[in-house]
């Protein structure tokens, strides 16, 4: 899709001022779309307050007989990755007040951040600026276009980071684990470890969920400290974690498992909330889906729990 054409369509809808055009405009915005601009749209962090302000603006303009239009639209597109793109450009805004025979034109700049969701592109961020009178030959308020671009690029990277990682522990999430597993399965021998906390419900029930979160974060740090460079640690749900080891050596796998158990035991002796873990590990078969490998590792994990917990098994 040509997002510059979609960007111009946004301005056409915005200038149109009808209920039908406004509805089309709002459908283009993501629910958490942030809007920064001049006049009545100075700052909004989601679609709802922006929609409410737009409705008020329409009513005021209609009562005053104000008409909006534009000319000299230009736009360029920057591809950040397959799901994030930026368009930036400018247009000459035109305001007509027929009742007072007033005609005003103002140069402006815009930056749009698009995110691909499901089967369509949605606007995730809008930044629009108009030059002050003494800035018409140069910088636009509140930031230059290059500064806006840098800000949007930073936001895109932050959004990607949020999409890839667990919000509590900072570890990779299940979706990212799936992607890495699929890549490695075709290029190297991979061992998969599944582990969870023993009697974690007791920690939550006795000390509260904040204490439970503390334990999850503490365990996450231990796991990251115990694996080798290139190994992958992820939180895949609740108190369950998974580790991908890029090795064909069973001795290496046992060494990592022993190191984790030792560090957990040390932490359990010093932390106010005692906790332990059980682990199961399996070698991934060629072309084996991640969920199948996880099921096999889970089987080994629960065999450990049936025989006393606080240990590991290799399948």
Segment 238-245 mean pLDDT: 95
Task: Please report which confidence band the pLDDT of residue 1 belongs to, taking 50, 70 and 90 as the band edges.
Answer: confident
**pLDDT value at 34 more than 50:** yes
Mean pLDDT of the chain: 83
CATH for the 3-164 domain, from 3.30.70.360, 3.10.450.50, 3.40.50.170, 3.40.50.2300: 3.10.450.50
Cα gap 228→233, rounded to integer Å: 10
CATH number for the domain whose boundaries are 174-314: 3.30.70.270
Q: Could you state, in order of their start, the residue ranges of all structural domains in the chain?
A: 3-164, 174-314
Nearest to 94 by CA among 64, 110, 72: 72
Cβ-proximal residues to 177 (8 Å cutoff; 6+ apart), any chain: 232, 234, 236, 242, 244, 290
DSSP string, 108-172: EEEEEEEEEETTEEEEEEEEEEE--GGGTTS--SSS-HHHHHHHHHHHHHHHHHHHHB-TTT--B
pLDDT above 90 covers a percentage of the chain that reads: 38
Map tokens 């939180």 to a residue.
Answer: 235
> Are the C-beta atoms of 129 and 142 separated by less than 8 Å?
yes
Question: Which pLDDT band holds residue 61 (cuts at 50, 70, 90)?
Answer: confident
Whole-number Å distance between alpha carbons of 95 and 295: 64
**Is the pLDDT at 41 greater than 50, yes or no?**
no
Higher pLDDT, 253 or 17: 253
Give the pLDDT confidence score for residue 135 in this predicted structure: 43
Cis peptide before 142 (omega within 30 of 0): yes
190-198/43-44 β-pairing: unpaired
Does the global pTM surpass 0.75?
A: no
**Better-scored residue on pLDDT, 144 or 266:** 266
Q: Please report, rounded to a whole number, the percentage of residues in the chain having pLDDT higher than 70.
A: 85
Check whether 150 has a pLDDT greater than 90: no
Q: Is 132 exposed, middle or buried (0-12, 13-18, 19+ CB in 10 A)?
A: exposed
């Amino acid at each position: 899709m040509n997002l510059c054409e979609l960007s111009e369509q946004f301005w056409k809808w915005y200038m149109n001022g009808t209920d039908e055009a406004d509805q089309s405009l709002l459908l283009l915005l993501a629910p958490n779309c942030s809007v920064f601009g001049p006049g009545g749209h100075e700052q909004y962090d989601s679609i709802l307050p922006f929609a409410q302000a737009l409705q008020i603006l329409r009513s005021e303009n209609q009562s005053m007989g104000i008409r909006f239009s534009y000319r000299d639209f230009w736009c360029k597109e920057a591809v950040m990755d397959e799901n994030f793109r930026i368009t930036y450009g400018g247009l000459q805004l035109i305001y007509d007040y027929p009742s007072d025979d007033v005609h005003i034109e103002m140069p402006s700049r815009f930056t749009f951040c698009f995110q691909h969701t499901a089967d369509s592109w949605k606007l995730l961020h809008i930044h629009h600026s108009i030059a002050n009178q003494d800035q018409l030959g140069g910088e636009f308020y509140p930031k230059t276009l290059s500064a806006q671009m840098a800000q949007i690029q930073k936001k895109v990277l932050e959004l990607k980071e949020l999409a890839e990682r667990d919000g509590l522990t900072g570890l990779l999430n299940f979706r990212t684990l799936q992607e890495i597993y699929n890549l490695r399965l075709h290029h190297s021998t991979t061992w998969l470890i599944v582990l969870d906390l023993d009697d974690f419900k007791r920690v939550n029930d006795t000390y509260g969920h904040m204490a439970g979160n503390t334990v999850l974060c503490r365990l996450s740090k231990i796991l990251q400290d115990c694996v080798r460079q290139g190994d992958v640690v992820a939180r895949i749900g609740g108190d369950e974690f998974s580790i991908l080891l890029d090795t064909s050596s069973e001795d290496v796998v046992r060494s990592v498992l022993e190191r984790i158990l030792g560090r957990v035991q040390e932490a359990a002796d010093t932390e106010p909330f005692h906790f332990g873990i059980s682990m199961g590990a399996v070698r991934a078969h060629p072309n084996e889906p991640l969920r199948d490998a996880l099921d096999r590792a889970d089987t080994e994990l629960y065999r450990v729990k049936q025989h006393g917990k606080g240990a590991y098994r290799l399948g």
